[in-house]
Structure 1
Amino acid sequence: MAGLTRKCFSESDSCSDSPGSSSTALSHGDTDSNGEEKTCAVCGDRATGYHFHAMTCEGCKGFFRRSVIKRIEFTCPFTSSCTITKAKRRQCQACRYQKCLAVGMRKDMIMSDEALRLRRTLRHRKQKEEQSPRGEPDQGAGLTAEQEQLIEILSEAHQKNFDSSFSQFTHYQPPVRLDIHSVRPQNGACLLSPEDYLESYPEEVLPDVFSMVPILAEMSTFMIQQVIQFAKAIPAFRILPIEDQISLLKGTTLEICQIQFNTIFNEETKVWECGQHCYTIQDAALAGFRQIYLEPLLKFHVSLRKLKLHEAEYVLLQALVLFSPDQVDVVQREDIDQTQEKIALTLKSYIDQRHPLPEGRSLYAKLLLLLTELRTLKVENTRQILHIQDFRSMTPLLSEIIS
């Protein structure tokens, strides 16, 4: 387990059209307040409500969700102007998908299967709370002994294997002649394309600027190794078959790295403080990462940091991501699902106990939404790493993770 030795996919192809998947049903089924029947904005069939920000039928809702989750690229065999109706909607998927986007359906509102499952867990918990005499969480009850033990195990695994000071990150040192952070773009730009960003630097600085690729490559390897050691320190992970361990790590390591990175993110300066060295979103741009990934990445870190999570909540969040039963090749899916549910309930109980109302009531839901964003970021991160020249070859471990 020092490295990963078998290839598998990191994304699940599960695309169940859950009734609650980011949709809002009409108050009277498929009619409005005047009793008039609503029609799907995509194909004209009878609509069942607002799905992903547009009034659609169940068929178009499911089609859009599957297309986005599977990242399917459709091609129209005609002139990309096919008429989409209830009878013809299956004839051209490319034009149907474009029609979904044209009527306002939003890809960012689609929740992953993992997020949907966690939301159902939250709803189940809320139903129990509503059945209590006061109709609200009993914050005086505290955590169960099993939950306290789980937090202790995860916290110990995190503290032993996450070097927050980056004192052990000595494989690669930034150039001594010039610290690239001491020179910023002359035009005051904040987030440019890599080409524009390089042009904004003085000519004598450019040789050092290109050192960001090996720095980030070494940093990725360093972080991945820490995540692997964190997982191996968790008993529930160690007892899984080696095939399941590899599948879970391949599917979730990049997401866990981002959660760990958030613990050293300075919300005010927008800087990741890695011991003696600091890195910004512009450094990733210099390495070749594009705005389509960098802008949402920065937004994610700012949003997560604003929640002011405790260390226990960070480690529970990491474990919640790690035990993802929707990974393609896992064998003991039921055991992994049960472990994830225990972690989710522990996280919710901890939030209920440690965060006062009303802020605490919405904190768990906010975390679920951020997990959905994190999954999307992981997909785009992987895509860009595959296209950055020499990045994967510099770190074989990263190459195995995204294979």
Structure 2
Amino acid sequence: MSVSSASDAEGSPWPPPGPQVPRGEEESEPGEEKVCAVCGDRASGYHFHVMTCEGCKGFFRRSIIKGVHFACPFSRSCPVTKAKRRQCQACRLQKCFDVGMRKDMIMSEEALQQRRALRWRRRLAREQPAGLTAEQEELIALLTTAHQRNFDSSFSQFTDYWPAVRLCLLSPRPQSPSESGGPAARPQPDCLDEDVLPDVFSMLPHFADLSTFMIQQVISFAKEIPAFRSLPINDQISLLKGSALDIYQVQFNTVFNAETNAWECGQHCYTIEDGALVGFQQIYLEPLLKFHISLKKLQLHEAEYALLQAVLLFSRDDANLIQRDFIDQYQEKAALTLKSYIDHCHPKPEGRFLYAKLLLLLTELQTLKVEYTRQILHIEDLSSMTPLLTEIIS
């Protein structure tokens, strides 16, 4: 028996074709409750050729498969009702045959498993979202290539920078006996070991070069997008000034280690404590660390990082943009592609709310940018800022 035909045999909410169905049942009023032909309980559909309840369906199937021979202790005329159907199995089975249930329609266990597997595959097919369109796949390939070509995850090209500089604390050296009683010794420079006072490093020049290096990569990424290059130069500058710091953080998240809470940039490794050495306050550093931990936990694919950068790049915050409609359309296309990719490539239930979580994190990213700009402008040694970084945060 084929799987499809067996499906009709085991049970169906509709009567099988042919004259076997009682005429009275075919002509019953729509919505009228069906009753089991064996015990009178509420029927769930046609099973083995007869309208029955789930209980009698299961009883008939188990009895035939197991080949059990029941014996009636009375006169083989026991009443079979919903309340008394369990009292005599012999009379219940005979009633099943009397109303027309057919044992030749019972599926084997193997065929039943095949049917269940088929139903499961059909269900998955219905729930599976539609695949990516050719246009979306092309966009993903373009942005992923641009990201790979312009983001140096090993930071091997980060060579022209100020190293972290050790500050020298002025402290008096111990006086020798011969010096006692003489004039007070002048404090001498005393460079302490790293494990004694790690907070004596000046990280500001190094940070400025690191930020400039990251922003330069963002600019290179943007220039590889034909839609961006087609914009008027003033629009390009406006979009970069509005998004470079956000994209910088998204790219930086790809090298973030959530186990150590450190950004592993090749031979360089940064922690949130380094941000404090630059001069940032905890009101910025703590939400920044939380943002990177949350984003890393989403376990984004490389394509999703690239799409996210495009969504940020084409954010229309400047009212003076010339090609505002075009920018809106491209951002919408990137956002829809990102959602389609998530739906298609992230299994449920883990990926069910992934897109919504990303949108919430983007809102947090905007708040971080505002606080970052406020704090960086209040750091005293602005002379350490590079021209590019100064232009971006202005």
Query: Normalising by the residue count of structure 1, what TM-score does the alignment of the two structures yield?
Result: 0.58
Distance 1:386 1:152 in 2: 38
Residue matched to 2:178: none
Q: 1:165 aligns with which of 154, 163, 185?
A: 154
Residue matched to 2:275: 284
Q: CA deviation at 1:275?
A: 0.4
Distance 2:139 2:163 in 1: 39
1:256 lines up with 2:241 in the alignment: no
Checking the alignment, whether the CA contact within 8 Å between 2:241 and 2:392 is kept in structure 1 is yes
Residue matched to 2:304: 313
Change (3 A) 1:280 1:136: farther
What do the CA deviations read for 1:74-104 (whole angstroms, capped 9, x no partner)? xxxxxxxxxxxxxxxxxxxxxxxxxxxxxxx
1:357 lines up with 2:375 in the alignment: no
Aligned pairs, number: 248
Change (3 A) 1:377 1:137: farther
SS at match of 1:224: helix
Q: 2:139 aligns with which of 131, 147, 150?
A: 150
Residue matched to 2:72: none
Distance 2:322 2:336 in 1: 23
Q: CA deviation at 1:330?
A: 1.2
Percent identity of equivalent pairs = 73
Q: CA deviation at 1:171?
A: 1.0
Checking the alignment, whether the CA contact within 8 Å between 1:174 and 1:211 is kept in structure 2 is no
SS at match of 1:359: coil
Larger Rg: 2
What do the CA deviations read for 1:301-353 (whole angstroms, capped 9, x no partner)? 00000000000000100110000123232111100000000001100000001
Structure number with higher relative contact order (C-alpha < 8 Å, ≥ 6 residues apart) = 1
1:215 lines up with 2:206 in the alignment: yes
> Aligned letter for 1:378?
K
Residue matched to 1:47: none
Residue matched to 1:245: 236
Residue matched to 1:398: 389
Question: Which region of structure 1 is more displaced relative to structure 2, 332-341 or 138-147?
Answer: 138-147
Checking the alignment, whether the CA contact within 8 Å between 2:239 and 2:315 is kept in structure 1 is yes
Q: CA deviation at 1:392?
A: 5.8
Checking the alignment, whether the CA contact within 8 Å between 1:319 and 1:343 is kept in structure 2 is yes
What do the CA deviations read for 1:204-241 (whole angstroms, capped 9, x no partner)? 54698333111111101000100001001101100011
1:334 lines up with 2:329 in the alignment: no
Root mean square deviation, CA, Å: 2.4
SS at match of 1:174: coil
Q: Could you tell me which runs of 5 or more consecutive residues in structure 1 were left unpaired when the two chains were aligned.
A: 1-132, 179-201
Change (3 A) 1:292 1:173: same
Distance 1:345 1:174 in 2: 42
Distance 1:359 1:225 in 2: 35
Distance 1:378 1:219 in 2: 17
Change (3 A) 1:358 1:331: same
Checking the alignment, whether the CA contact within 8 Å between 1:175 and 1:208 is kept in structure 2 is no
Residue matched to 2:163: 174
SS at match of 1:308: coil
Distance 2:254 2:218 in 1: 14
